Amino acid sequence: MTPARQDKAARAAAALADALASSTNSDDPAPDPTKQKQKQDREPDPHDVARQIVLRQLAVAPRSRAQLEQKLAQRDCPADVAAAVLDRMSEVGLVDDEAYALMLVRSQQAGRGLARGALARELRTNGIDDELAQQALASISEVDERDRARALVDKKLRAMHGLGIEVQTRRLAGMLARKGYSPSLTYAVIRDAIADAPEYLPD
């Protein structure tokens, strides 16, 4: 064997020995501080990640704290990180369940015509506690609720021209019940609306 081949064989044997030694060594190599720092630099701060998730959610629409907690949990955000971020957001007024509850009540009552019963369910579904829910619902008076029910009935009644009074009453009562109005208010409003608009009854 030539000296060159001997040298090459020696290097190969040494490399194989090193590889075998590495594979049988159970001790992990000492971590490289430089590589560790680079890894840390690449990994985002979980608080920053949570903060960005919350801000993106709030940019789309107002949210309750419970809704934001649920979204963070879905994104595998640690509970302590979520709590810290939401606490800070509450301190600066970006997360405010009292304001959210009042906004939801007013918008749903005006837009969808929901009564307090249905609004209470909406608030509960969105994670608003009972005390804040009652405060928000108190912003709607009995007069407000009756007026909104009457507006709904008047609008619906115009599309029911010629139907019998029993059919009109049944359909109007069903509509108001789905929106959370009480039976007593429902039938009082329907009775008054039909009495005030006899032109919508069959000839």
Report the candidate in 188, 159, 185 with the shortest Cα–Cα distance to residue 171.
Answer: 159
Sign of CA dihedral 102, 104, 107, 111: negative
Of 95 and 32, more confident: 95
Write out the CATH class of domain 96-140.
mainly alpha
* Per-residue confidence (pLDDT) for residue 41, from 0 to 100: 59
The full set of domain ranges for the chain reads 46-95, 96-140, 141-203
Cβ neighbors of 72 (< 8 A, separation 6 or more) are: 50, 53, 54, 81, 82, 85, 86
Cβ neighbors of 55 (< 8 A, separation 6 or more) are: 94
Architecture in CATH for domain 46-95: Orthogonal Bundle (1.10)
Residue 129 identity: D
Which tens digit of pLDDT belongs to each residue from 85-95? Answer: 999 999 999 99
Q: What confidence tier does 159 reach under pLDDT thresholds 50, 70, 90?
A: confident
Q: How many residues does the chain have?
A: 203
